[in-house]
Each structure stands twice: as C-alpha cells, then as structure tokens.
Amino acid sequence: MPIHPLYGHEGVRNRLAGAFASGRLPQALLLEGPAGVGKQRLGLWLAQLLLCDAPVAGGREPCGACRSCRLVLSLSHPDLHWFVPIELGKRGGDADKQVELVETALGEEMAARREKPLYEPTSGLAGHAIASVRLLLRRLALTPAIGRRKVAIIGDAERLIPQQGQEAAANALLKVLEEPPADAQLVLTASEPEALLPTILSRVVRVRLARLPDTIVTAFVQKELGVAEESIVEQQVRSADGIPGRVLAVTGDRPGADAAAGEFLSAARGAGVGRYELALRQMPFQARGGFTAMLDALLARLRAEARAAGTPSRKLTEAIARVFEAREQAQGNVNPQLLAAVLSDDLAGV
C-alpha cells in the first residue's frame, strides 16, 4: 500500500524545493515541530522530490508517476534509507552482529509501515542505538543503487542514544553531518530539538514545521481515515489541534479500547479499591495511545447512555465533561495512572 499523501506545510515545501532547484539545499537538515505534525512525512516528500526522474511544477513537486516516485511511495526505494527508533530486545554479540540485528528490525518496521502506512507514535522504549548509526554510515558510503543520490531520514533524532565506549561511531556521525558525501542528503526530525546534542544541532540547518490549519486536518480525517460523520470529524479535528498524528494515536484497537472502557466504568461505579488497581494498570509508555483510545471509547459509552436516557442526569453530563477534559490532558505529559485515578473518582457516583 502506498504511503498517504502529505498534507499541508506548503510554505516549507516551497522553500525546500526552491533551494533544491537552485542547488542551495543544505545537505543536513533538521525538521522540527510537534510530534505528529508530519515531519517524517515531509522528509519522505523531500526524498521523493530529490529522487524523482522528472519533477513537475518547475521542479518543485515530484511527478508521482515515475519509477523512483513509486518506489519511494511504497517505501521500497533502495536509495531511501529511513531510520526510525526501534526496540532492540536482546543485546549482546559483536558490533557487526548488532548492526545486523538493527537492519533486520528496521526491515520489519518498514514492512509493517508498507502494510499500515498510518503509524502510531513510536514506543517510548525505542531508540537509535549506536548500531543504527553504524548502519547509517555504511549505507551513506554506498554508491546510489538506481538514482544519482541517496537520502537518509533519521526520525525522532532525539532518540540517538550515546553509548560509553562507542565514541568513534558518534564522532563519525558528527563528521558525516558536517560534511556529508556529495551524493547524500540527510534529513533529521525531532519534536524536542533541544534534547539533541549541541554538537549535532550545530551541524544541521533547522527548519520549523508549524501546526496545520483545521481545514487541512479535516481533509486528512475525512480522506485518510474515512471518517464521514460530521460530529466525529469535528471532535477529531478539535482534539488534533493542528496535529494530524494525534488522531492516529487514538484510532487503533477499537474493540480492545471498548472492552477496557467497560471494565473501567464498572470498576469506577463499583465500591472499594478495585478502581485504583485499574488506574495502576494504565501503563505509562506504550499504552499512552491505548489509554487515549480507552478514553474515547469511554466517551462514546457515556454519550450513548445520555442519548438512551433522553434527559441525562446532571451527573452524567458532568461525567462526560470530565472524561472529555481527561482526554485533552492525556495528549500532554500527564501520567495516565494519575489521570485514571482522578477520573475513576469523578465517575464513582454516576
């Protein structure tokens, strides 16, 4: 399945394309902006433009039809190297073995993204280990396979993990950022650029991506997620707040989310300590997406109850408002366990 089209960011696209057309595109770029705003997707767009055989619109847009474009859009272009943070389960082995493990894990991740192009935020446990850096350096040393250049995207670059005793690879990365091979383009992305090492920051040209206007998020929700019901579109656009990726974080695993919501609701309504146990089960890392999905399912259940009641009680109306509030807080850095505990108290009397 091809990846979804890029939404918005026209100003940045124009600037980058203009710089490329005039041969002034900096070879090491850092795209920064909120998580989910489309930084890596923009990186892929730039890769497509740079690898395209016949760009259109005065060289400012990839044609979308040539072999290179099709290969980029299906994440299969041999000169596109997309590095995303990965979870490396077992450690050990020598450096070469580690690189092999990273290569396999990245291959699996790309296969998953070809299958399901709209991906959820990366798990908090994933990172770019030094073996990823080694793999990157190896690939940058290769001659381009079918094009004139190669493009490397390093997503969530703030997850580059410095490792003791591996300074040589880290220094090699800095050297490559400072002076990339003539046929290489590097695109780093970060939602927390300040978390990057200053030695990296000083070697890249920073490009800021802003939130998207609601009209564009609306188009994204309707066309890419296939949401037709106006009230749901509105709710998703509101909670996205200019960041389409936020909608994705809550759409996965609907059946599981609904079951979790039912469990949460009956525990909150029941007496005693059961509800705190339930709150503690909200995992802080990977389940953040799961937690927001559960809150969405909870909202749906309470709204259905309100509809069924005809005239919902004041308590029920308040409960809906509380869950909605929690849903908004869950987007931020609030601890899901804490949020769940407070919410279960709010819902206790409903």
Smallest gap, in angstroms, from Cβ of residue 56 to Zn ion? Answer: 8
Kindly tell me which of 49 and 136 has the beta carbon lying closer to Zn ion.
49
**Residue matched to tokens 């909150």:** 268
Smallest gap, in angstroms, from Cβ of residue 114 to Zn ion? Answer: 19
CA distance 131 to 95: 7
For the record, the structure tokens of 32 come out as 């920064």
State the number of binding residues for Zn ion (CB under 5 A).
5
Beta bridge partners of 159: none
Kindly tell me which of 49 and 227 has the beta carbon lying closer to Zn ion.
49
Smallest gap, in angstroms, from Cβ of residue 16 to Zn ion? Answer: 16
CA distance 171 to 157: 16
Cα–Cα distances (Å) from 168 to 96, 163, 175, 188, 331, in that order, read: 15, 10, 10, 20, 38
What lies within 8 Å, CB to CB, of 275 at 6+ separation is 267, 268, 341, 344, 345, 348
Smallest gap, in angstroms, from Cβ of residue 147 to Zn ion? Answer: 11
Only one of the segments 38-46, 48-56, 216-224, 326-334 lies at the binding site for Zn ion (rule: CB under 5 A); that segment is 48-56
Kindly tell me which of 69 and 297 has the beta carbon lying closer to Zn ion.
69
Q: Which of residues 134-163 bind Zn ion (CB under 5 A)?
A: none
Q: Does 52 contact Zn ion by CB under 5 A?
A: yes
Q: Which of residues 64-83 bind Zn ion (CB under 5 A)?
A: 66, 69
Q: Which of 316, 250, 317, 259 is nearest to 289 (CA)?
A: 250
Q: Which of residues 205-244 bind Zn ion (CB under 5 A)?
A: none
Spell out, one character per residue from 168 to 207, where the chain touches Zn ion: x when CB under 5 A holds, - when not. Answer: ----------------------------------------
Kindly tell me which of 79 and 346 has the beta carbon lying closer to Zn ion.
79
Smallest gap, in angstroms, from Cβ of residue 12 to Zn ion? Answer: 20
Q: Does 63 contact Zn ion by CB under 5 A?
A: yes
Kindly tell me which of 38 and 62 has the beta carbon lying closer to Zn ion.
62
Smallest gap, in angstroms, from Cβ of residue 291 to Zn ion? Answer: 41
Smallest gap, in angstroms, from Cβ of residue 151 to Zn ion? Answer: 14
Kindly tell me which of 54 and 111 has the beta carbon lying closer to Zn ion.
54
Q: Does 44 contact Zn ion by CB under 5 A?
A: no
Which spans of this chain sit near Zn ion (rule: CB under 5 A)? 52, 62-63, 66, 69
